Amino acid sequence: MSNILKRLETILQQRKQDDPTASYVASLYDKGLDTILKKIGEEATETVIAAKSGDKTQIIYETADLWFHSLVLLAQQDLSADDVLKELERRFGLSGLDEKANRTK
Ligand SMILES: N=c1c2ncn([C@@H]3O[C@H](COP(=O)(O)OP(=O)(O)OP(=O)(O)O)[C@@H](O)[C@H]3O)c2ncn1[C@@H]1O[C@H](COP(=O)(O)O)[C@@H](O)[C@H]1O
């Protein structure tokens, strides 16, 4: 896993014990799942708007916000980026069209 993902995950775990008034991440945990999900929805929409504008700097900025809030969700659910990376590795080389054709649900 990339170094920044590991460092960020360490902080996201630490924030579970931290003061919600002193930390943005701790405040998200304190507000709960629905607030985290709302942020992901907002950041996904902002990423779409950035992509439609064609501004590459803005696409990077909004995608970073989206990835960050997705990492907060994973941490809140006691999952890690590694769990997602492993799933991507499992899928590697498997055609998306073949995978879809073999789905049971
Ligand atoms: N990478 C990030 C990061 N990316 C985005 N954000 C915050 O995510 C929020 C994004 O919200 P919006 O863009 O919607 O802006 P907004 O309208 O001000 O947000 P809201 O008021 O609607 O929540 C902003 O408050 C950003 O500062 C982040 N906050 C924290 N981190 C990392 O998390 C670590 C821990 O942060 P704290 O818990 O705040 O110490 C930091 O050291 C960083 O490494």
Among candidate residues 53, 71, 92, the one with its CA nearest the CA of residue 13: 71
DSSP per residue over 21-60, as a string?
Answer: TT-HHHHHHHH-HHHHHHHHHHHHHHHHHHHHHT-HHHHH
Condensed to tens digits (0 to 9), the pLDDT of residues 48-105 reads 999 999 999 999 999 999 999 999 999 999 999 999 999 999 999 988 888 888 887 6
Q: Look up the ipTM and state it.
A: 0.92
Q: Which amino acid is at 30?
A: D
- Per residue in 2-43, pLDDT (tens digit) is 899 999 999 999 999 999 999 999 999 999 999 999 999 999
Task: Choose one of 65, 66, 70, 74 to mutate for the ligand 1 pocket test, by most ligand atoms within 8 angstroms of C-beta.
Answer: 65
Give me the pLDDT at residue 104, please.
Answer: 79
Question: Which residues touch 75 (CB under 8 Å, ≥6 apart)?
Answer: 9, 12, 13, 16
Q: What is the pLDDT of residue 97?
A: 86
Length of the chain: 105
Domains and CATH numbers, the chain: 3-79 (1.10.287.1080)
Q: What is the pLDDT of residue 35?
A: 98
> Ligand 1: distance of its center to the CA of 100 in Å?
35
Atom of ligand 1 nearest to the CA of 43: 14
Between the CA of 24 and the centroid of ligand 1 the distance, in Å, is: 6
Please name the residue whose Cα sits nearest to atom 39 of ligand 1. Answer: 24
Q: Is 71 in the pocket of ligand 1 (CB under 6 A)?
A: no
Closest CA to 73 of 62, 81, 64: 81
